[in-house]
Amino acid sequence: MSDIQTWTLVFVIVTFSIYIFVAYRSRVSTTSGFYVAGGGIPAPANGAAIAADWMSAASFISMAGIIAFAGNGYGGSVYLMGWTGGYVLLALLLAPYLRKFGKYTIPDFVGDRYNETARLVAVVAAIVVSFVYVAGQMAGVGLVFTRFLKVDPTTGVIIGMAIVFFYAVLGGMKGITWTQVTQYTVLIIAYLIPAFAVSAKVTDVPIPQVGFGTILAELDALQTELGIPEYTAAFGSTNMLNMLLITASLMFGTAGLPHVIVRFYTAKSVRAARYSALWALFFIALLYTTAPSVAAFSKLQIIEDVNGTALSEMPSWFNTWSEVGLITQADGSPVSDLGADTVVNYSDILINNDIIVLASPEIGGLPAPIVGLVAAGALAAALSTASGLLLVISSAVANDVYFKKINPQATEARQLMVGRIAMAGAIVVAGYLGINPPGFVAQVVALAFGLAAASFFPILVLGIFWKNCTAMGATAGMLAGLVTTMAYMLWTIDIYGNGEGIFGILETGFGTIGMLINFAVTIIVSQFTPKPSPVMQELVEEIRYPGKTELVAKHAQGEIH
């Protein structure tokens, strides 16, 4: 084994052992503990768990690569603005009110606020969004195992499935929460250490958020020489319309993600739910303010290392990532097809977005232990989000379908058993999607955000702030938004491939259009259908005001439906 493989194996074994130990110590025997950790997680810990749950393989593995390559600097900022901006919406518009409403899941809220038909549509939407999202996580797991442990992607995904199965099925939300706190610690250390080290090495400034500003002029000049738009130039890779739509889709999608929203039910109180959002923003900012520097440093080094260099003289990182097929010729054919004496130009090769963070320690010439640490961090990011998504699927099946519709008299033990069986089935499906993902990690995740924006965000906001929003309106709106958005995404990806959709709208930005369709349909249908009961209208009014009124208290205890 190489030094990198050895250190990766060490870090993987150590971190996985810690996750399993934490899950074992946090195991639960009640549905409250399984679904919402008993509502007893402190705000700082809940914030770290939210950050780990939400900062998926896309954030850790792909985002810097998108900024560097797909977005060419400026264009990639849509992910920074959209994903972080969504948390402002979540903290202000949804989290405290949903927490006060007192239900386990989004379908639970929808079922109580509207009716059982709307609940079933919400269950379907939650499962679709979660499976699309989890596909990206498991693909990231396979990528890490393939590169660093020389394990084929299928085996790597199966190993990840086994670990998630153990701590998610055993501990439910409580086990997942405390495991995610541990995983956040691992992933943020793994992300920041190489970033600080490379910044100090390249710019003599050890703070990457400051250091990368000193190389942007050099990077702009290099790209101009290569005939590429300047790295800092506006709309060099994405036009203004798509910048707006993708940013909005990611933003509203963040505020509607079921696996993130359920996190606010694990807080001790409504006040703690607000502080959880604040802590999460802080923990997320540590990585998100660092990602642009990782992108800039890596791209500068890649251009300098590769452009005008003979294939036989390429640095070791280039050869390593070429061997696993993540660096190819521009037409997709293997680099090895070129002769050893062939001089390679930067425009002749295609670098996968997903390798930038994983390869950055090697590109920066950092030692093998750092490379192994980054691999462990990537696995932590992927598995933490995967576990949260799988719990959403499990709760949707066990709580919202089995308990609410099929067997309302089921004991807690029976509900837990069904929930664990549902999670086991979801893990198998997630593994299949990870082995056969529909795109690179961040693209798949961006599609999930679009689906969440188109299905959940409108009916949650209207359900909280408009007491006359009706059950038929919400059901029609969810269906219209979800079906339209999914159809457009499938059509655009399959037929065009390059995103040449209607008016050039990319599939990753169509979630905004789907959301507007949802809003319009919900509002219009609500004008012509029976209004909610007077009690529900009064409850909707009361959950927006401070303090726990008698009506809210009765609803939380199940006395009002």
Instruction: Give 365-430 as a 3 state SS string.
Output: CCCHHHHHHHHHHHHHHHHHHHHHHHHHHHHHHHHHHHHHHHCCCCCHHHHHHHHHHHHHHHHHHH
Evaluate whether 296 touches 219 at the Cβ level (below 8 Å): yes
Q: What is the pTM of this model?
A: 0.79
What CATH number labels 3-299+360-445? 1.20.1730.10
Contact between 229 and 72 (Cβ < 8 Å)? yes
Report the alpha-carbon distance of residue 501 to residue 503 in Å, rounded. Answer: 6
What is the CA 273 to chain-centroid distance, rounded?
20
Is residue 435 within 8 A of residue 48, CB to CB? The reply is: no
* Residue indicated by tokens 């499976």: 131
Task: Note whether 328 and 350 are within 8 A (CB).
Answer: yes
pLDDT of residue 471: 93
Q: In what helix (H) or strand (E) does residue 302 lie, and over which residues does it extend?
A: helix 291-306
The gap between the terminal CA atoms of the chain, to the nearest Å, is 61
The first and second tokens of residue 498, run together, are 């390059």
d(CA 68, CA 351): 10
C-alpha distance from residue 387 to each of 51, 492, 501 (Å):
13, 30, 33
Sorted by sequence, the CB contacts under 8 Å of residue 106 that are 6+ apart come out as 122, 126, 258, 261, 262, 456, 460
| Tens digits of residue pLDDT in 136-193 | 777 778 778 777 777 787 888 888 788 777 766 665 666 777 888 888 888 899 899 9
Task: List the structure tokens of 226.
Answer: 């290569």
Every domain of the chain and the residues it spans: 3-299+360-445
- Sorted by sequence, the CB contacts under 8 Å of residue 463 that are 6+ apart come out as 109, 110, 113, 114, 469, 474, 540
Report the alpha-carbon distance of residue 315 to residue 301 in Å, rounded.
Answer: 11
Decide: helix, strand or coil at residue 557. Answer: coil
**Can you read off the two tokens belonging to residue 80?**
């920074």
Instruction: With beta carbons less than 8 A apart as the criterion, state whether 90 and 250 touch.
Output: no
What residue ranges in 192-288 does DSSP mark as E strands?
Answer: none
* pLDDT for the residue 496: 41
Residues 476, 521: contact at Cβ < 8 Å?
Answer: yes
Closest CA to 190 of 383, 374, 4, 378: 374
- Mark out the alpha helices in 69-152 (DSSP H runs): 77-89, 95-101, 106-113, 116-148
**Backbone Cα Rg of the chain:** 23
Task: Measure the CA–CA gap between 56 and 249, rounded to whole angstroms.
Answer: 17
Residues of the chain below pLDDT 50: 495-499
Q: What are phi and psi of 206, to 5 degrees?
A: -75, -5
Alpha carbons 422 and 106: distance in angstroms, whole number: 17
Cα 334 → chain centroid: 30
pLDDT confidence of residue 101: 77
Joined tokens for residue 483: 């079906």
Side-chain half-sphere CA neighbours of 390 within 13 A: 38
Distance CA 73, CA 544 (A): 41
